[in-house]
Each structure stands twice: as C-alpha cells, then as structure tokens.
C-alpha cells in the first residue's frame, strides 16, 4: 500500500470551512477533517485515524494564537483517532462532544476493543492506537450546542443512527452541514455512488432516518462529507438518502437469506456495487467499507428482528 507523498491537501470548500485530507492508510480522498475559521476561534471537526496526527498538528499550528475547539462527530477511529494526541499537543484546546462520546474519548479502551474485534489487531497496528483525552478538557452536550467562533455561528446537533454517540455540525453562515457518518459515503474514486454507512455494533435504522430529517430541517445548501468532500445539495437529497438506506438494509437481508452464507452474500453485494460504479472489481479500501456496512446491517437486523420486519415490509 503506497502512500502519496505530495504536500498535505488543505482546500477551502466554503467561505469559512477548509477540508483537510487526513490520508487514511496513505490514501487521499477517503477520510476528511474540516476546519472552521472564525475571527476568535478555530474549530476542527473530526481528526482522522491516529496516524493523521502530524498532518493535523501541522495545519493547526498555523492558528497559534486562536482558541482551538475540537469536535469529534463520533468515536469511531477514523473520526476521533488523533483527538488524544491533539489534546496533548494543544493543551489549551477545548473538546466538545456528545455526552455518549465523551466517556470514550477519556477512556478509549472499549473503543479499541471493539475495533480489534471488528477489524482485527493488524488494522489497529496500521492506523495507530488512540490516546486518552484528559477529562478536564471535554465538555459534553445532549441535543444541541451553539458556538460562536467570532463572526461564525456553528451548531452541534445530536444525530444518532450510525452510532448512538453521533453528532453533526451546522455552519450557519455557509449553510453547510458537516455530517460525519450521518449520511452515505460518496467517495470520489468510486464515482460518488452512495454507500450507506451502517457499521456494527450499534447502527439503528430508525434513529438514522430521524437524524436525516433533523438535518433536512436545517435547509442547508451543501453537505461536507467525511467520506468525502463537498456535495452541493439538491431538492430531495435527504429523501434519496432515506430510500438508499432502506434499500440497502433490505438488500443485505434478502441477499443473506438467498445465499444462506455471509461470505457469499457479501461477495454478491460487492459485485453489485462494482457494477453500479461501472468497474470490474472494487478497490480493497472500498471492499472494507462495504464489508463493515454489510456486517453492521446484518447485526442490526438480527438485533431488532421485529422492527426490521416492519422496515422490510413494502417500504424497502
């Protein structure tokens, strides 16, 4: 797996927002962090895997005198991996997280355990181990939190579904949502075909749909995807997201029942997505993404069989 050694990619995507490519596992264009710059404070949304620390320290050091706020959308390793290291580098920073995320930042042991179980130890070695964040640096919120970065109002909004500790951020003057994993992945290298983000161990379809409706009500003009980049919103985007999500859950269930074997079912789903993108074979990073969403969807269906049969009846 060869990384790209070109300069760190930082790109202005809205008037107040910059996209930082965290180059996950050496690949550009897969995991983004976003920096919002006000006159008084800068706020970093997400922080990539632990191996992204150097990239982010480099970018944040340019804002030496300003107040720094760190906002992890949730505590999956591709979003909060280097929060602890950043907290060590910038001890005056403030970390704002949903209440259910805060405890995992302070003690990442359960997070690490769950990553080890789902992805294996080799993966953890590759992306690095997250450091704990000092408890005193973390402030948490429940439903919403408003912040003024100096002329730039932003709002953190609880958007569970992908995970019970998931939040999104709305940048009011730019009418931009930074969505974490509350919406589908659309990776440029995969033709921006939507791939729902439904990972184990706690994806919840109904919560995810409620969160889509919350985001829709913001009447944003654009969405900034963690995976990956700026998407100008169109009429009906959120409805398409909901349908895509329901269709995905239904597809995973139907394929699994028809094949009777997880491996075979996954292979068929992967072939179908490759066909939709118009390529022969999915690149390995995308197979990983599909595998995780497939496993999480199946896990959700097993966990909530009754609710699931409701979701599968005629609505899929």
Footprint of Zn ion on this chain (CB under 5 A)? 78, 181
In the complex with Zn ion, the residue whose CB is nearer, 21 or 256, is 21
Q: State the nearest-atom distance from the C-beta of 167 to Zn ion, in Å.
A: 13
Q: State the nearest-atom distance from the C-beta of 249 to Zn ion, in Å.
A: 18
Look at the alpha carbons of 93, 77, 200, 135 in this order and tell me if their dihedral is positive or negative.
negative
Distance CA 36, CA 48 (A): 16
In the complex with Zn ion, the residue whose CB is nearer, 47 or 53, is 47
Q: State the nearest-atom distance from the C-beta of 109 to Zn ion, in Å.
A: 20
In the complex with Zn ion, the residue whose CB is nearer, 181 or 251, is 181
Q: State the nearest-atom distance from the C-beta of 293 to Zn ion, in Å.
A: 10
Q: State the nearest-atom distance from the C-beta of 162 to Zn ion, in Å.
A: 8
Q: State the nearest-atom distance from the C-beta of 205 to Zn ion, in Å.
A: 18
CA nearest neighbour of 167 among 300, 83, 71: 71
Q: State the nearest-atom distance from the C-beta of 128 to Zn ion, in Å.
A: 16
In the complex with Zn ion, the residue whose CB is nearer, 228 or 238, is 228
In the complex with Zn ion, the residue whose CB is nearer, 127 or 152, is 127
Which residues lie below 8 Å from residue 96, measured CB to CB, with a gap of 6+? Answer: 69, 70, 71, 138, 139, 140, 141, 145, 147, 156
Which residues lie below 8 Å from residue 218, measured CB to CB, with a gap of 6+? Answer: 157, 170, 175, 177
In the complex with Zn ion, the residue whose CB is nearer, 78 or 251, is 78
In the complex with Zn ion, the residue whose CB is nearer, 38 or 199, is 199
In the complex with Zn ion, the residue whose CB is nearer, 41 or 166, is 166
Name residue, tokens 């944003």. 220
Alpha-carbon distances, residue 272 vs 242, 277, 283 (angstroms): 20, 9, 14
CA nearest neighbour of 131 among 189, 202, 190, 82: 82
Q: State the nearest-atom distance from the C-beta of 219 to Zn ion, in Å.
A: 25
């Amino acid at each position: 797996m060869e990384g790209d050694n070109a300069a760190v990619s930082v790109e202005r995507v809205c008037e107040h927002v910059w996209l930082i490519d965290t180059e996950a596992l050496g690949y550009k264009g897969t995991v983004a962090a976003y920096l919002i710059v006000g006159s008084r404070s800068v706020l970093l949304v997400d922080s990539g895997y632990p191996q992204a620390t150097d990239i982010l320290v480099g970018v944040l050091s340019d804002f030496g005198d300003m107040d720094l706020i760190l906002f992890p959308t949730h505590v999956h390793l591709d979003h909060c991996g280097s929060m602890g290291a950043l907290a060590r580098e910038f001890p005056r920073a403030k970390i704002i997280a949903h209440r259910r995320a805060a405890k995992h930042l302070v003690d990442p042991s359960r997070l690490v355990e769950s990553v080890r179980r789902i992805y294996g130890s080799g993966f953890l070695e590759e992306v690095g181990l997250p450091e704990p964040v000092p408890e005193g640096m973390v402030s948490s919120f429940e439903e919403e939190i408003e912040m003024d970065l100096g002329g730039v109002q932003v709002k953190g909004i609880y958007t569970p579904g992908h995970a019970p500790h998931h939040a999104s951020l709305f940048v009011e003057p730019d009418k931009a949502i930074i969505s974490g994993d509350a919406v589908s992945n659309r990776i440029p290298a995969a033709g921006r075909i939507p791939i729902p983000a439904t990972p184990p161990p706690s994806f919840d379809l109904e919560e995810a749909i409620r969160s889509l409706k919350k985001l829709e009500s913001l009447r944003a003009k654009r969405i900034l995807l963690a995976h990956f980049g700026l998407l100008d919103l169109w009429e009906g985007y959120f409805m398409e997201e909901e349908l895509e999500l329901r269709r995905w859950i239904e597809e995973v269930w139907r394929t699994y029942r028809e094949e009777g074997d997880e491996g075979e079912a996954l292979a068929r789903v992967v072939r179908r997505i490759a066909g939709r993108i118009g390529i022969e074979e999915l690149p390995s990073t995308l197979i990983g993404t599909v595998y995780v969403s497939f496993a999480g969807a199946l896990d959700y269906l097993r966990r909530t069989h009754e609710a699931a049969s409701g979701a599968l009846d005629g609505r899929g």
